[in-house]
């Protein structure tokens, strides 16, 4: 399955295109199966898309939104991906959507793995998965150099705790297997630095050094990369 790449001059043009595409996909899922399941990522890149999606007239009560990964902090913490989704996506029209958190009452994410995995395993095939990519080639919270990376790429579990080598926060990430149980994967990337990282990720197959390659070089799910160069 080849990766299609859509290049845009700026975020505004990318978000306009992506919003139209996601709307159609969610509407089609609801029409065909009565519900749509959308996986989103955190960080900073998705904010303009979230703000636009939140305004869309959709059957939002028939949409469930799930995070691909989470920083293991309270949802009130500035670093929380859940906080980001609640503040920018679950607003306006989209406030009626359902949300499945990756957090739990457990302080230690490693103690919460089974609970979160079971929660995510109960969800059906995702209709759309929106992933980001760090400049180190991580995606979701599958980080190069993390002790748990090999597990994240091979486990049957739907989620796992990860402590990135260089990042201060422990994480909870969906596993490769759970993320690939989907109808469509998108990569939402912005900026020249990410364009260079994407070229490197496409040029070689080694997943350990760039875990994003596990999703770019696979034949199971169609992948579309949306890249804003500025
Ligand atoms: O830490 C994370 O980073 C990635 C990339 O974020 P971006 O702002 O550079 O797009 C993100 O996809 C992931 O959800 C987040 O936890």
Q: Kindly state if the Cβ of 42 falls inside 6 Å of ligand 1.
A: yes
Class of residue 19 by CB neighbours under 10 A (exposed 0-12, middle 13-18, buried 19+): middle
Q: Kindly state if the Cβ of 164 falls inside 6 Å of ligand 1.
A: no
Mean pLDDT of the chain: 97
**What residues make up the domain containing 133?**
3-228
Is residue 96 within 8 Å of residue 196, measured between CB atoms?
no
pLDDT for 2:
75
Write the CATH number for 41: 3.40.50.1360
pLDDT at 89 over 80: yes
ipTM above 0.95? yes
For residue 44, the CA-to-ligand 1 centroid distance in Å is: 7
Residues β-bridged to residue 81: none
The position carrying tokens 């979701």 is 140
18-39: per-residue pLDDT in tens?
999 999 999 999 999 999 999 9
pLDDT at 206 over 70: yes
pLDDT for 192:
93
pTM of this structure: 0.98
pLDDT for 174:
98
Looking at the structure of the chain, the number of domains it has is: 1
Mutate to test the pocket of ligand 1, among 14, 15, 39, 43 (most ligand atoms within 8 A of CB): 43
For residue 26, the CA-to-ligand 1 centroid distance in Å is: 23
Is residue 186 within 8 Å of residue 129, measured between CB atoms?
yes
């Amino acid at each position: 399955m080849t990766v299609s790449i859509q290049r845009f001059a700026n975020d505004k043009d990318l978000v306009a295109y992506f919003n139209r595409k996601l709307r159609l996909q969610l509407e089609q899922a609801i029409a065909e199966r009565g519900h749509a399941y959308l996986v989103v990522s955190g960080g900073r890149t998705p904010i303009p898309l979230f703000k636009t999606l939140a305004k869309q007239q959709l059957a939002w009560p028939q949409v469930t939104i799930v995070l691909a990964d989470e920083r293991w902090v309270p949802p009130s913490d500035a670093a929380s991906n859940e906080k980001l989704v609640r503040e920018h996506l679950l607003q306006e029209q989209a406030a009626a959507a359902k949300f499945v958190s990756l957090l739990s009452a457990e302080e230690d994410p490693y103690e919460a793995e089974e609970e979160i995995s079971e929660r995510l395993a109960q969800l059906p095939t995702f209709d759309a998965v929106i992933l980001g990519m760090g400049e180190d080639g991580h995606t979701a919270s599958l980080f190069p150099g993390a002790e748990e990376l090999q597990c994240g790429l091979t486990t049957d579990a739907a989620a796992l705790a990860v402590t990135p080598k260089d990042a201060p926060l422990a994480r909870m990430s969906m596993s490769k297997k759970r993320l690939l149980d989907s109808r469509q994967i998108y990569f939402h990337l912005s900026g020249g630095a990410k364009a260079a990282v994407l070229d490197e990720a496409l040029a070689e197959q080694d997943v350990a050094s760039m875990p994003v390659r596990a999703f770019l070089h696979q034949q199971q799910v169609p992948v579309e990369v949306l890249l804003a160069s500025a």
